């Protein structure tokens, strides 16, 4: 039998696309559905798609209605990803992750661990220490200026794996309107807040973050190949 391939190693380059205009959520779902099917059928490469959404809330399969605090504030989309409520909007870098776990090894936990390490390595490029917590999803930063035990979430992970191809992905707060998180209980966690690179005093651009994301991704997952956003229409 062939040996199991690590999530972190794949000789084939992953397509890397960046959309500069805001992407409607329905369009993102459509692109992901068609692309994951094409990956599964061997008609398309794996894909990382970086984008921004207009302001909206999404609810994962574990979302609780009581965690939607202001139902009329923004559009709400019910999704088939894991997790609970989160906010997407301008200034937040969303990365949709379409990887073939059939060829990389059927290890969902390993994929999530690598996504966490990807985000932590990206934050380290800006001298930010991101951390994981066993009882909380996402990436967290300590806020000693606010109190010894205060931590804020800077990045979320919400994934779906269907027939061993992943979709949905991660969201890293670069400089979003953090007040919009007040309309939900982010990821069902009431006792901690959210932050961003800008909130931490780092006025970096999305371009800066994209460069760091790509470099740290390649170290963990293998090579990438830039493509134009119109090549997403498969």
Of 117, 124, 127, 125, whose CA–CA distance to 157 is shortest? Answer: 117
E strand map for 61-106: 76-78, 85-88, 92-98
Q: Give the helix/strand (H/E) hosting 168.
A: strand 165-173
Alpha-carbon span 18 to 23, nearest angstrom? 11
Strands 14-18 and 47-51: parallel
Which pair of structure tokens corresponds to residue 220?
Answer: 């963990």
Catalytic residue (one of 187, 189, 213, 232):
187
187 labelled catalytic? yes
232 CB burial (10 A radius; 0-12, 13-18, 19+): buried
How far is it, in rounded angstroms, from Cα 179 to Cα 181? Answer: 5
The residues assigned a catalytic role are 187
């Amino acid at each position: 039998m062939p040996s199991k391939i690590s999530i972190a190693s794949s000789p084939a380059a992953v397509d890397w696309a960046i959309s500069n205009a805001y992407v409607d959520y329905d369009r993102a779902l459509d692109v992901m559905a068609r692309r994951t099917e094409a990956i599964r059928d061997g008609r398309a490469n794996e894909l990382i798609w970086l984008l921004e959404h207009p302001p909206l809330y999404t609810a994962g399969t574990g979302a609780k209605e009581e965690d939607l605090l202001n139902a009329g504030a923004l559009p709400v989309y019910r999704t088939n990803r894991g997790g609970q409520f989160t906010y997407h909007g301008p200034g937040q870098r969303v990365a949709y992750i379409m990887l073939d776990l059939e060829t990389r090894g059927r290890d969902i936990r390993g994929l999530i661990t690598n996504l966490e390490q990807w985000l932590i390595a990206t934050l380290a490029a800006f001298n930010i220490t991101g951390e994981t917590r066993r009882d909380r999803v996402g990436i967290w930063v300590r806020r000693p200026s606010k109190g010894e035990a205060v931590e804020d979430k800077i990045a979320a992970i919400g994934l779906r794996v269907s027939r061993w191809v992943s979709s949905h992905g991660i969201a890293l707060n670069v400089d979003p309107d953090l007040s919009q998180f007040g309309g939900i209980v982010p990821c069902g966690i009431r006792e901690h807040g959210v932050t961003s690179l800008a909130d931490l005093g780092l006025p970096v651009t999305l371009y800066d973050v994209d460069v760091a994301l790509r470099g740290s991704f390649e170290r963990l997952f293998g090579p990438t190949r830039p493509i134009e956003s119109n090549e997403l229409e498969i």
